[in-house]
Amino acid sequence: MSSPFQVFRKNQQRLLVVFGVLLMVSFIIVPILTDALQPNGGSNNNAVVVKWNGGLIRESELRGLLRRNNVTVNFLEAVLARAAEKVDDIDGSQHILQRVRGSGEVVNNILLAEKAKSLNLVITDDAVIQYLNDLTDKALSTDEYYTIQRRVAGDQQISMPEIFDEIRTALAARYMQSVLYAGVGSLPPQYHWESFRRLNEHMELEILPISVADLAETITDDPDENELRNLYEDRKDKFPYPNSPEFGFRQLPKIDFHYVKFDFEKYLQKAEAELTEEEIAAEYQKSIESGQYRKPVTLPPMEPGDDGDTDTDDTENETGDKTDETGDTENETGDKTDESASPTTEESGTEPEGVKPEPEKQSRVTTARKTEFVSTQTQDDPVAGSDPVSGNEPETTQPETTQPETTEPETTEPETTEPEGEGDTDATDPKKPSTETPDIADAFLPLEDVRDQIIERLARPKAQTMQDDAMEAVRVAMSKHASDYNIAKFNDKGDLPKTPSALKLGLDNGATGRETGKLDYIQIKEKKEEELGQSQRFQGFQNESFEQFAYNPNVQLFATRESTSVDSTDIRFIFWKAVTEDEKIPAYEGVKGLVEEAWKKTKARELAEKRAEEWVDEAKSAKGLNLEELLPKQAEQVKRTGEFSWLTQGSFSMFGGGPELSTIDGIDGITPESMEQVFKLAEDEIAVLSNASKSEYYVVRVDYRGPSENTMRIRFSMERATVYPPTAQADFQIYNQDLMKSLDQEFNVSR
């Protein structure tokens, strides 16, 4: 039997020709046909990102432009570093091109370069070389440039001509920016004044709301079918936005999130239940030894003049003070007699009084020291006119003395012998408890009173460990599944692994697992019973709501992310994308109900605005001090907004953030245009206003506007004038946005 390869050997020339043709068809013709047969005329993975009168950019090209910009900036930084090694004090950092921060900036640079081209501005190779010479002070040779290019851009496969093209585009864009932004940084005094007014002038409104939704329910007319279809055709390509008055019937991307909820309180209860009595008792004893849980000291109430039956130094000092006061008073009044100086103090319980110097001739401290000296030496009442400091007072033994050497009944020292029936003063002796070891039961709170505190202190660290371990277990499980899924996805013969159940993951780790179902970012925010949709994360010095970060299209399936409940930081979530549904334009039949609802809202807005204008006319023709009096039939619906300013300093102004548009209580969403309309009104003026989404209209009356113009100007003159007022940053952003919009219109850009 002849070999099968004999056929190939005989016809090898013909076969080579056939195979060559097939290869050319495969590599040239097939991709073109495939690209043409795809929706929108291209591959889903290489769709058109932006197009304009001069061309278009696909996704693959956009990625290449981003990489080219990054490599070019790296090349320029390396060139500048090399030049700095050769030239002292070289400063070319201000000439470095800006690294773009996203695809939007790439497109903007291209449009600015196109605008420059339309003005016959051409950046030649000589201009690029001159830019490099200015950057490096002509310190590098051509070979050095190419050496750096191979080192920095070789792995990225970016050639020197491509680097030149990127520099050429960036220089053209930079030139156009210098032309279009000329004069923007020079702010006239009027701008500073307006900035000050927007931040410091306040208003307070009376508002009478009119609900569009309520009026829509009163519309009973059936819409014309052609009218509905025209509305659908006009808005089918537009997305719906919560705070926009425009309707949109295009379906937003939807995601089915699976998540596990970790409630710290559950782990805390579990940890508390696992504590033993021995652990609690040991922790209590440890706390007692460290001085915790002492009973609060309660001092007995002091009755006026009740300072007898004590002979401590403190008591003597206090008694001496009282003696001073008594003596001072007597000296001032001049009513002191020999009888008052005699030792007759058994009934009153007061110490004998000595003759004291005039109070204005001695300080309070001196008086206290002298009194203490007298009380420790003798309690005998000195003869009137004697000096207690000089020691000239007669030393007579009085029965009321409290010196330890005496044997009078009033003494309470342990060395003193007392007659029967008068020893009950020992029970009140304050020195006796200090010589004994206090009982723990008397000095500290009992375990029963602090048991809950001890249990929580012991259980909280254990509960935190339980929660952290449970969350880590879910992370590990989902990380493994995500890895297995990605491997199987790119393996044609591999079966996709089974998705782990969020419910089971929750049960296995003492948590709760759930699925949201497929929801877009508007639906998950409006679905209040969905806990995950009401969560948030802390990012960049501020909290981000769930819909702001969870719908990032760049996050892969089953990649875990985390958030925290808005109600309690003890409740945490781990969630992941399980199922996604792309945006789409639904058929008319599928959204006919939404179209009818939009038609009714349009009619209801007209009714609401008309009713508001009628009420404004009625109020202007009436007499009264406020809306309740001007519109008595609607008085119960009138609300007050509270004071507000046009702009408010941002919560993070300390980090460079500019002022923000203020909110108005009672008005759900305010636009810059509406705020400008409000601040054109004078005090007592009445007008019609709507919120951002035009879901409500308002009859508004300015109840207060202040401070006055003169007061504002005085305050403004006292303010330190800044080169760049707070509102400039926000206005510059608006100017930049308007500028790019004008370029989009000029070049008929479709992004």
What pLDDT sits at residue 626? 92
- Does 438 score more than 80 pLDDT? no
pLDDT digits (tens, 9 = 90+) for 394-404: 444 444 444 44
Q: At residue 261, what are phi and psi to the nearest 5 degrees? A: -100, 125
Lowest-pLDDT range, 53-67, 163-177, 323-337, 439-453? 323-337
Backbone angles phi, psi at 255, to 5 degrees: -135, 135
pLDDT at 725 over 50: yes
pLDDT at 386 over 50: no
Average pLDDT (702-714) is: 92
For residues 688 and 696, what is the distance between their CA atoms, to the nearest angstrom? 11
174/112 Cα distance (integer angstroms): 8
Q: What is the mean pLDDT of residues 52-60?
A: 85
pLDDT beyond 90 at 217: yes
Determine the Cα angle at 553 with ends 547 and 555, to 5°: 95
- The average pLDDT across 479-496 equals 84
Backbone phi, then psi, for 332, in 5-degree steps?
-65, -40
Q: In this predicted model, what pLDDT tens digit does every residue of 524-536 receive, in sequence order?
A: 988 888 899 999 9
Rounded to whole angstroms, the Cα distance separating 33 from 52 reads 24
State what percent of residues in the chain have pLDDT above 90. 44
Residue predicted with more confidence, 445 or 6: 445
State which of 75-89, 326-340, 366-380 shows the largest mean pLDDT.
75-89
Confidence check: pLDDT of 249 > 50: yes
Alpha helices in 12-86 (DSSP H): 12-24, 30-37, 59-86
Cα dihedral sign, 286-289-290-291: positive
Stretch 611-619: mean pLDDT, rounded?
Answer: 95
Report whether pLDDT(480) > 90. yes
How high is the pLDDT of residue 296?
82
**Cβ contacts of residue 71 below 8 Å, gap of 6+?**
152, 153, 156, 158, 163
Bigger pLDDT: 333 or 20?
20
Tell me the CB-side half-sphere exposure of residue 382, using CA atoms within 13 A. 20
Angstrom distance (rounded) from CA 341 to CA 349: 14
627 vs 737, higher pLDDT: 627
From residue 130, alpha-carbon distances to 143, 167, 175, 348, 524 in Å are 17, 11, 15, 108, 56
**Is the per-residue pLDDT at 520 higher than 70?**
yes
Q: Name the more confident of 415 and 108.
A: 108
Give the DSSP letter of residue 655.
G
For the question of whether the overall pTM of this predicted structure is more than 0.75, the answer is: no
Lowest mean pLDDT among 341-345, 553-557, 652-656: 341-345
| Close Cβ partners of 540 (under 8 Å, ≥ 6 residues apart) | none
Q: Which amino acid is at 210?
A: I
Specify the range with the lowest mean pLDDT, choosing from 74-78, 233-237, 302-306, 442-446. Answer: 302-306
pLDDT-derived band at 611 (thresholds 50, 70, 90) equals very high
Token pair in block for residue 307: 């300072």
Q: What is the CA radius of gyration of the chain?
A: 44
Burial pattern 506-524, b for ≥16 Cβ within 10 A else e, equals bebbbbbbbebebbbbebb
Are 204 and 694 contacting, i.e. CB atoms less than 8 angstroms apart?
no
Name the residue with higher pLDDT: 429 or 477.
477
414-428, 604-618, 641-655, 736-750: range with highest mean pLDDT? 604-618
- Residue 651 is predicted with a pLDDT of 55
Write down the pLDDT at residue 104.
85
Alpha-carbon dihedral sign for residues 284, 290, 296, 299: positive
Domain residue ranges in the chain: 5-37, 50-180, 191-215+590-723, 254-272+459-583, 313-418
Q: Residue 99 — φ and ψ, nearest 5°?
A: -80, 125
- For residues 266-286, average pLDDT: 94
CA distance 408 to 416: 8
Arithmetic mean of pLDDT, 510-517: 94
**Chain-centroid distance, C-alpha 665:** 21
Region 234-260: mean pLDDT is 92
Q: State the fold for domain 191-215+590-723.
A: Chitinase A; domain 3 (3.10.50)
What pLDDT score does 495 carry?
Answer: 82
pLDDT of amino acid 371: 38
Note whether 618 and 281 are within 8 A (CB).
no
Range list of β-strands (E), 444-570: 512-519, 535-539, 542-545, 561-565
Instruction: At 456, list the tokens.
Output: 């929580």
Kindly provide the residue ranges of all beta strands, DSSP E only, lying in 520-617, ordered along the sequence: 535-539, 542-545, 561-565, 571-581
pLDDT score recorded for residue 54: 75
pLDDT tens-digit map of 287-308: 999 888 888 877 666 666 555 4
Please check the confidence at residue 362 and state whether its pLDDT lies above 50.
no
Per-residue model confidence (pLDDT) at position 682: 93
The pLDDT tens digits of the residues spanning 113-132 come to 989 988 888 899 999 999 99
Q: Which of 116-125, 351-360, 573-582 has the weakest average pLDDT?
A: 351-360
Q: What is the distance between the alpha carbons of residues 53 and 750, in angstroms, rounded to a whole number?
A: 10
Beta bridge partners, 171, equal none
Instruction: Quote the mean pLDDT of the chain.
Output: 79
**How far is the C-alpha of 50 from the C-alpha of 105, rounded, in Å?**
12
Concatenating the DSSP letter of every residue in 237-295 gives TSPP-TT-SS---SBPPEEEEEEEEEEHHHHHHHHHHT--HHHHHHHHHHHHHTT-SBP
pLDDT at residue 391 in the model: 43
At 5 the pLDDT is 62
- Percent of the chain at pLDDT exceeding 70: 73
